[in-house]
Amino acid sequence: MKIDQETVAFITGGAAGIGFALAMALGKRGAKIMLADLNQLQLDKAVQALTAQNIEAAAVLCDVADEKQMRAAANATIARFGKVHIVANNAGVALGGTPGEIAMKDWRWIVDINLIGVAHGVEIFTPLIQSHGEGGHFINTASMAGHGATAGMAPYHATKFAVVGYSEGLKPELEPSNIGVSVLCPAWVKTNIHRSALDKPTGGNSEDDPQFKAMETVIGSGLNPADVAEWTVECVEDNRFYIFTHPEFAGGIDMRHAQIKADYDACAQFPAFQKANAS
């Protein structure tokens, strides 16, 4: 889609990291920006930074896991800018752990934010985008963790795989309304997502925990959010669906697809399935 001075973008998790970088990249193309986040101080600083770049911006406190707050944020966006075109469902948290030791309240926490938060954005904003007939675009932030899994981060993988699948289902459904869908799947980016685990309901590990320090080191070596945002906006303009950021991860996707193909081939050798297919 074309991004210009008539474009209005709503961005969750918009006060920092990829969300703020998206706001800057979209704003520099002329878009008006509504930031949504949980931290008022960071929101104020983010709006000031955007305004300093001559970007028209506003902000609203919002917990994406809370439907009422998301509806209020949508209403605030319409009240301020009159309409909305781009919705970046970007807010997210991280959670790992050992199976059998992860509290269900922590599971609900990550699912409510990483998955239901995206669903809130889509369900609430789709009618608003459709209402003006000018088209629009959803950017749903998933992760490379939504394409391949490793030990120790099962809850995070579960939510990110879900966002990828959800987005794949949305794309053909929203095309008739001229609403595009992209699913952003970065690997390591210099953000504070690893710190979100410190806020899980049952309490997080301390910053001195070896696992936390290891993750902080990996995250610290990641991509600049501004580069990820610039590429993301280019992909939105080109109506690209999957937005990847790390070409070196392609081999892992190939390995996963090879395993899937091998197991499909194996099922074809099961006699009962052969009979079913023959009939």
Per-residue pLDDT tens digits for 205-260: 677 777 788 888 989 989 999 999 999 999 999 999 999 999 999 999 999 999 99
The total of other beta-carbon atoms located within 10 Å of residue 60's CB is 21
* DSSP at 12: E
Per-residue pLDDT tens digits for 142-196: 999 999 999 999 999 999 999 999 999 999 999 999 999 999 999 999 999 989 9
Closest by Cα among 188, 89, 196, 177 to 136: 177
Q: What is the pLDDT of residue 89?
A: 98
Residue 129 has pLDDT above 80, yes or no: yes
User: CA-CA distance, 85 to 2, in Å (whole number)?
Assistant: 10
User: CA-CA distance, 69 to 120, in Å (whole number)?
Assistant: 10
User: CA-CA distance, 23 to 26, in Å (whole number)?
Assistant: 5
Split at pLDDT 50, 70, 90, the class of 277 is low
Domain coordinates of the chain in residue numbers? 8-245, 251-279
Q: Which residues have a catalytic role annotated?
A: 156
pTM of the entire structure? 0.95
User: CA-CA distance, 115 to 122, in Å (whole number)?
Assistant: 11
| Distance linking the first and last C-alpha atoms of the chain | 47
Per-residue pLDDT tens digits for 9-26: 999 999 999 999 999 999
Reported residue count of the chain is: 279
Structure tokens at 172: 């053909």
* Cβ pair 182, 118 in contact under 8 A: no
Task: Reply yes or no on domain 8-245 having CATH 2.40.10.120.
Answer: no
Closest by Cα among 183, 170, 6, 28 to 85: 6
Average pLDDT value for the chain = 95
User: Which helix or strand (DSSP H or E) is residue 61 part of?
Assistant: strand 57-61
Per-residue pLDDT tens digits for 98-124: 999 999 999 999 999 999 999 999 999
User: Which helix or strand (DSSP H or E) is residue 9 part of?
Assistant: strand 8-12
Q: Mark 90-121 as b/e (b = at least 16 C-beta within 10 Å).
A: bbbbbbbbeeeebeeebbebbbbbbbbbbbbb
